Structure 1
Amino acid sequence: MKEVYLAGGCFWGMQAYFDLRNGIEKTVVGYANGNTENPTYQQVCANTTGFAETLYIKYDENEMPLNKLLDEFWKAIDPTLLNRQGGDTGTQYRTGIYYVDGEDLKIINKSLEKEALKYSKPIVTEVLPLKNFYEAEEYHQKYLEKNPGGYCHIDLGL
């Protein structure tokens, strides 16, 4: 099993979207690459912690290789929007790929270069090693399963 952390705007939609994909073993929503310990949702939304709403993904690379997983990621976001996805704005809604395995960087960069050819504007999705990740509060986990019809900026039918 492999792991990657993806920031794609509101983490509720990201989790629902990736939970529908084959080869995804586990997802957890949380906060990545910020500057404080154990942030709360309110602190993250205040834009003072530096965290991005992020989805932890544990995946089977035989069933869903990283390049295919990233293809799914690009479908779900607009990588040219800075600190915004859908109707959500703020630094916590930036897009990012945070890796734990340095060998994944080559695949990530190749995927980003391929995606960049589709846009006239530059891609602003950050690609960084994972600095830290804190699991979000329980009420955020599987939010759209618990709240059918809840807000989602991603077309789950993609």
Structure 2
Amino acid sequence: MDKHEDRQLEIALLGGGCFWCLEPAFSQLDGVEQVLPGYAGGKLESPSYEEVCAGHTGHIEVVQIRFDPQRIDFEELLAVFFAIHDPTTLDRQGNDVGTQYASVIFYQSQQQRTQAEAMIQKVAQLVAMPVVTQLRAASRFWPAEMVHHEYYERNPQQGYCRVVIEPKLRKFREQFRGRLKKAGS
């Protein structure tokens, strides 16, 4: 029997700009079992990437993270989240502009809400600027089309991946090297 078979996984639902940037970072963390790119917070049933990018559905690009709280807790995920995106820019990350790129935490429980509120205050003090990260109740998650899953891993030479994602990942790996999965896990 697998020693992890009886564990209870939890979910974090986070948006911090393009999901292509978030997915590869969270996927490398020890204790994270699955990261799916998708959409949340909007009014349209089963939205497409094109509809979300048009900015009229109310959805935000997010990643759904399934994690083992015995190996990594929600606060650690939040620390990574705030390190890999700019929570001080309203509805934008770099050249990605629009409400679909908002900084948002969709909390799944009162405990996640409390932890997120505390982390937002801490980050605001650290950066000495207002943090515009939205804190919203859990919302229906719509997985993105398969072409967006593991986008960076499948397209490392694509321009956006080389210019935008790779520098973020280098910084992330350096900052969180002690929290990364071991080779082969």
Q: Same fold (TM over 0.5)?
A: yes
Provide, for residues 93-140 of structure 1, a one-character-per-residue CA deviation record: whole Å limited to 9, x for no partner. 111001122221111111111111022321100011122210100000
Find the aligned partners of 1:106 and 1:94 in 2 and give their Cα distance.
20
**Is structure 2 residue 95 aligned with structure 1 residue 83?**
no
Find the aligned partners of 1:143 and 1:113 in 2 and give their Cα distance.
32
Number of residue pairs aligned between Structure 1 and Structure 2: 158
Structure having greater relative contact order (Cα 8 Å, sep ≥ 6): 1
Residue equivalent to 1:130: 138
Structure 1 segments unaligned to the other structure (5+ residues): none
Residue equivalent to 1:156: 169
Residue equivalent to 2:47: 39
Which among 148, 157, 160 is matched to residue 140 of structure 1? Answer: 148
Identical amino acids, percent of aligned pairs: 37
Find the aligned partners of 1:102 and 1:133 in 2 and give their Cα distance.
19
Post-superposition offset of 1:6: 0.5
**Is structure 2 residue 124 aligned with structure 1 residue 116?**
yes
Which structure has the larger Rg over C-alpha atoms? Answer: 2
Q: CA RMSD in A?
A: 1.1
What letter corresponds to residue 169 of structure 2 in structure 1? L
TM-score (structure 2 length as normaliser)? 0.82
Residue equivalent to 2:4: none
TM-score (structure 1 length as normaliser)? 0.95
Q: Is the helix fraction higher in 1 or 2?
A: 2
Post-superposition offset of 1:149: 2.7
Which among 72, 75, 78 is matched to residue 70 of structure 1? Answer: 78
Higher deviation after alignment, 73-82 or 112-121:
112-121
